[in-house]
């Protein structure tokens, strides 16, 4: 795997083939292609899964016409040459059908990442992912940060970055702006810090 990660750029076609092989080997991680570089993302732990379950329930109760697709591959960045696998992608229910493993980002209203306890989480979730999602035009990026016990909502992408970032500590309410339009009570996140 190191040889792939050390290459400065890889074609989308080569990446997709490597990702398929990697997934079949079940090596305990998932591959993404951001800025032409291959990154591995660790498989989530149980607390991570419970956070996605919590968010899915809130989304279903608040906006039943939407679905939070876990681990859905999305074509990102200019010309859709990047490949990201957010922990959740909020989009209208059924809209991803017939697109294969890597879907068009246009109907995605929000990308969600929950930090993992690995050495890449700072660069991946706090730098590369918000930039990639903003470049793609995904309206909202939600970062649930288990290291700092904070939740950040990024909004108003300008093609290079998100113009607005609002962060609250666990326990505070956070309004996800339109087009999502959901308020999160983050108190329960305190149960899944580790």
Global confidence as pTM: 0.84
Whether 81 is in a domain gets the answer: yes
Rounded CA gap, 8 and 3, in Å? 10
Domain that holds residue 150: 44-192
Q: What is the per-residue pLDDT across 63-109, written as a single tens digit (0 to 9) for each?
A: 999 999 998 999 998 766 889 999 999 999 999 999 988 999 999 99
Kindly tell me if the per-residue pLDDT of 24 is higher than 60: no
The more confidently predicted of residues 154 and 99 is 154
Strand partners, 92: 66
Which residues, other chains included, contact 175 with Cβ-Cβ below 8 Å and sequence gap of 6+?
153, 182, 183, 184
Whether 139 is in a domain gets the answer: yes
Whether 129 is in a domain gets the answer: yes
Q: What is the per-residue pLDDT across 157-167, written as a single tens digit (0 to 9) for each?
A: 999 999 999 99
Whether 155 is in a domain gets the answer: yes
Number of domains in the chain: 1
Kindly tell me if the per-residue pLDDT of 137 is higher than 80: yes
Whether 4 is in a domain gets the answer: no
């Amino acid at each position: 795997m190191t040889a792939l990660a050390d290459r400065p750029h890889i074609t989308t076609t080569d990446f997709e083939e490597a990702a398929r092989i990697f997934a079949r080997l079940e090596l305990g991680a998932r591959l993404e292609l951001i800025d032409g570089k291959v990154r591995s993302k660790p498989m989530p732990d149980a607390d991570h899964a419970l956070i996605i379950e919590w968010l899915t329930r809130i989304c279903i109760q608040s906006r039943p016409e939407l679905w939070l697709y876990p681990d859905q591959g999305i074509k990102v960045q200019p010309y859709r040459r990047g490949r990201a696998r957010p922990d959740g992608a909020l989009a209208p229910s059924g809209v991803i059908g017939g697109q294969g493993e890597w879907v068009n980002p246009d109907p995605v209203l929000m990308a969600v990442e929950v930090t993992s306890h690995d050495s890449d989480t700072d660069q991946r979730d706090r730098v590369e992912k918000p930039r990639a999602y903003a470049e793609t035009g995904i309206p909202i990026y939600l970062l649930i940060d288990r290291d700092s016990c904070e939740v950040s909502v990024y909004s108003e992408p300008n093609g290079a970055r998100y113009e607005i970032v609002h962060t609250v500590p666990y326990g505070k309410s956070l309004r996800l702006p339109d087009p999502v339009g959901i308020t999160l009570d983050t108190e329960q996140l305190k149960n899944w810090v580790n």
